[in-house]
Amino acid sequence: MRILVNGCSHTFGSECNTNWVKELALLEGCDYENMALPGTSNQSILRRTIDEIEEHSHRYHVVIISWTTLERFEFAYKGEVTNYSLHKSDAQDDRLNDFFKFCDVNIADWQLGKQHTQMYIFLLQEYLKSKNIPYIFFNAYNTAWDNNQDLLYRSMDFSKYYMPTEGIIERYLAQYPQSFSNTKHATDPEIHKMIAKEIRNSQQWQNR
């Protein structure tokens, strides 16, 4: 079995010598492809996951998506696609820094990000269903799906969504604050091992 995983820095394993994807693969004795990127957006997660499956669909038996915080988005700059996130900076480019600061004040919006992320989730779940690829979704950081009355929300398939009303990193951060850095990354490998065990023991993993 080979799993495809996508997400942000919490899935990449920033500031740690392992990540929960590697630990899950060790528990399962399987191969994996970890596409996670620090600072990525849910828009990027959707796009890059579909691109990878379109090119290599025969490689993967399960897809796991760890959705990130909601206000991030992709944009084009100097012919390249990059991601905006809150309080981001670029030491080499003052014009880009000005754009990031402008976005912090005028563009980044939680509610709009929630609307967009609902669309990304719906599109990816329908795409994976069309490909007959089992999948599991969960929230790495930030939760927006409790008591949500949006019409698109009602079409989201939560049977494949582990703990949709929780952010798994926030929960572990509250329980084990000493195991996290100031940037809220898990620095203790045990946190990644616990996340891997939790995902593996979930109903969504057992019924994938």
Query: pLDDT (tens digit, 9 = 90+) per residue, 87-138?
Result: 998 878 999 999 999 999 999 998 999 999 999 999 999 999 999 999 999 9
Q: Which pLDDT band, with edges at 50, 70 and 90, does 151 fall under?
A: confident
Tell me if 192 is assigned to some domain. Answer: yes
Residue 77 placed within a domain: no
Q: What residues pair up with 31 in beta bridges, in sequence order?
A: 2
- 76 domain-assigned: no
Q: Which residues contact 154 (CB under 8 A, 6 or more apart)?
A: none
Closest CA to 24 of 175, 168, 174: 168
* Phi and psi torsions of 191, nearest 5°: -65, -45
Q: Is the pTM of this model over 0.85?
A: yes
Same domain, 43 and 94: no
For 19, other C-beta atoms within 10 Å of its C-beta total 24
The string of DSSP codes covering 48-88 is HHHHHHHHHGGG-SEEEEEE--TT-EEEEETTEEEEE-TT-
Give the pLDDT band (50/70/90) at residue 150. confident
Residue 134 falls inside a structural domain: yes
Whole-number Å distance between alpha carbons of 189 and 153: 34
Q: 157 and 104 share a domain?
A: no
Quote the domain boundaries for residue 155: 2-71+109-206
CATH number at residue 53: 3.40.50.1110
Domain count within the chain: 2
DSSP tally for the chain: helices H, then strands E: 8, 6
